[in-house]
């Protein structure tokens, strides 16, 4: 019996490596991992040729230009990867009637509100990164009727560049650091997100949910709410690092791109549709650091 093949693009990135780690739990499936050296998603011809040569049943796109501040000086590259690349994959999948799962960001919401953002709330991206991610979301949904866009927030793991790894490094090097307390959201442990996606794929394959029902925009982050300051405190507490965390305001830590002040995501839709149980951010952090 031929194994079902799942293509993971951007496979060397943070999220891609989490899928690699979880793949052993799905021995009935074949995972095909590609990064830019194997497939340049910004090259439309190469993408269509790849899908013609490889029998793929699902595409999970982890490829993204995610350097938020650097994107301001590299807008063309950010657009190529986040918009053109995403569109190429979605269109190639659509030609073969293949679902695509594409990841997006809380940065598309920049409104000042106190209730978690729902999928149909107004978007207001600031900066090149946020605008190109939103344009990529729309391109995926337009190109493929089986396009699933999952917006997430504050992604971290032991792989790649992320807040956790930065804090572990700084906490070991410095006696104290300043971390903003006026930006609120939810840390998302990347393996939790990857596991949820594979559960969704499994439910579709087992016909527990309709294939067409995955289409559209969805939210996934861990449960709960915190600030970057509290997140840093939790990391140092769990790792017994003596580094002192000083609470500072965003205006005291200027960056080329303004960060969303509030980016808590409402996950009621994805939980109800796929029966997902989402862990609390603190429990996932403890599991990660263990």
Task: Please report the pLDDT score of residue 75 as a whole number.
Answer: 97
Reported as a pLDDT band with limits 50, 70 and 90, residue 253 is confident
Q: pTM of the entire structure?
A: 0.97
Task: Please report the pLDDT score of residue 74 as a whole number.
Answer: 97
Residue 5 scores a pLDDT above 70: yes
List strand residue ranges (DSSP E) for the chain, in order: 4-9, 29-34, 58-61, 100-105, 147-152, 155-156, 176-180, 184-185, 188-189, 216-219, 226-227, 244-248
Asked if the structure places residue 147 within a domain, the reply is yes
Task: Please report the pLDDT score of residue 113 as a whole number.
Answer: 85
Asked if the structure places residue 41 within a domain, the reply is yes
Please list the residues that pair with 218 across neighbouring strands.
Answer: 150
Distance CA 255, CA 214 (A): 36
Residue 268 scores a pLDDT above 70: yes
Q: By 3-state DSSP, what share of the chain in percent is helix, strand and coil, each rounded to 5?
A: 45, 20, 35
Asked if the structure places residue 229 within a domain, the reply is no
Residue 32 scores a pLDDT above 90: yes
Task: Please report the pLDDT score of residue 141 as a whole number.
Answer: 98
Given the DSSP bridges, would you call strands 147-152 and 155-156 parallel, antiparallel or unpaired?
Answer: unpaired
Task: Please report the pLDDT score of residue 111 as a whole number.
Answer: 80
Query: What's the alpha-carbon Rg for the chain, to the nearest Å?
Result: 19
User: Which residues neighbour 141 within 8 Å (Cβ) at sequence distance 6 or greater?
Assistant: 90, 147, 149, 215, 216, 217
Reported as a pLDDT band with limits 50, 70 and 90, residue 86 is very high
Asked if the structure places residue 245 within a domain, the reply is no
Tell me, what CATH number does 88's domain have?
A: 3.40.50.720
Mean of the per-residue pLDDT values for the chain? 96
Q: For 90-115, write each residue's pLDDT tens digit.
A: 999 999 999 999 999 999 998 888 89
> What DSSP letter does each residue of 79-142 carry, written as one string?
HIIIIIIHHHHHHHHHHTT--EEEEEEGGG-----SSPBPTTSPP---HHHHHHHHHHHHHHHH
Asked if the structure places residue 285 within a domain, the reply is no
The total domain count for the chain is: 1
Q: For 201-234, write each residue's pLDDT tens digit.
A: 999 999 999 999 999 999 999 999 999 999 999 9
Kindly state the tokens that stand for 154. Answer: 């504050």
3-class SS of residue 10: coil
Asked if the structure places residue 161 within a domain, the reply is no
Which one from 33, 65, 109, 129 is the annotated catalytic residue? Answer: 129
Residue 1 scores a pLDDT above 80: no
Phi, psi angles (nearest 5°) of residue 178: -100, 135
Task: Please report the pLDDT score of residue 254 as a whole number.
Answer: 87
Q: For 155-184, write each residue's pLDDT tens digit.
A: 999 999 999 999 999 999 999 999 999 999
Asked if the structure places residue 65 within a domain, the reply is yes
Residue range of the domain that includes 83: 4-156+188-223+264-279
Distance CA 116, CA 263 (A): 7
Task: Please report the pLDDT score of residue 112 as a whole number.
Answer: 80
Q: For 113-132, write each residue's pLDDT tens digit.
A: 889 999 999 999 999 999 99
Task: Please report the pLDDT score of residue 274 as a whole number.
Answer: 98
Query: What percentage of the chain reaches a pLDDT higher than 90?
Result: 96
Looking at per-residue confidence, does 274 or 1 come out higher?
Answer: 274
Cβ 96 vs Cβ 50: under 8 Å: no
Asked if the structure places residue 258 within a domain, the reply is no
159 catalytically annotated: no
Cβ 123 vs Cβ 134: under 8 Å: yes
User: Which residues neighbour 12 within 8 Å (Cβ) at sequence distance 6 or greater?
Assistant: 35
Residue 67 scores a pLDDT above 70: yes
Residue 2 scores a pLDDT above 80: no
């Amino acid at each position: 019996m031929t194994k079902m093949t799942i293509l993971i693009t951007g496979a060397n990135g943070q999220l891609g490596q989490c899928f690699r780690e979880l793949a052993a739990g799905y021995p009935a499936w074949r995972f095909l991992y590609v990064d830019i050296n194997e497939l340049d998603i910004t090259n439309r011809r190469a993408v269509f040729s790849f899908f013609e040569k490889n029998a793929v049943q699902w595409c999970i796109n982890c490829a993204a230009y995610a350097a938020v501040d650097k994107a301001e000086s590299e807008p063309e590259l950010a657009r190529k990867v986040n918009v053109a690349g995403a569109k190429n994959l979605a269109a190639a999948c659509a030609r073969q009637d293949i679902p695509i799962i594409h990841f997006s960001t809380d940065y598309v919401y920049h409104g000042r509100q106190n209730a978690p953002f729902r999928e149909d709330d107004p978007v207001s991206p600031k900066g090149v990164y946020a605008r190109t991610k939103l344009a990529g979301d729309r391109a995926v949904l337009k190109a493929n009727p089986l396009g699933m866009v999952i917006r997430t927030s504050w992604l971290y793991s032991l792989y790649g560049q992320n807040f956790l790894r930065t804090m572990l490094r700084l906490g070991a090097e410095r006696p104290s650091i300043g971390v903003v307390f006026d930006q609120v959201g939810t840390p998302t442990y990347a393996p939790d997100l990857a596991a949820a996606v594979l559960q969704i794929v499994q439910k579709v394959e087992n016909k527990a949910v309709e294939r067409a029902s995955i289409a559209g925009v969805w939210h996934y982050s861990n449960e709960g709410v915190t600030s970057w300051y509290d997140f840093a405190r939790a990391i140092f507490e769990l790792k017994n690092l003596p580094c002192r965390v000083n609470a500072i305001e965003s205006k005291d830590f200027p960056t080329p791109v303004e960060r969303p002040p509030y980016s808590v995501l409402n996950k009621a839709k994805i939980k109800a549709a796929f029966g997902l149980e989402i862990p609390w951010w603190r429990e996932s952090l403890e599991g990660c650091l263990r």
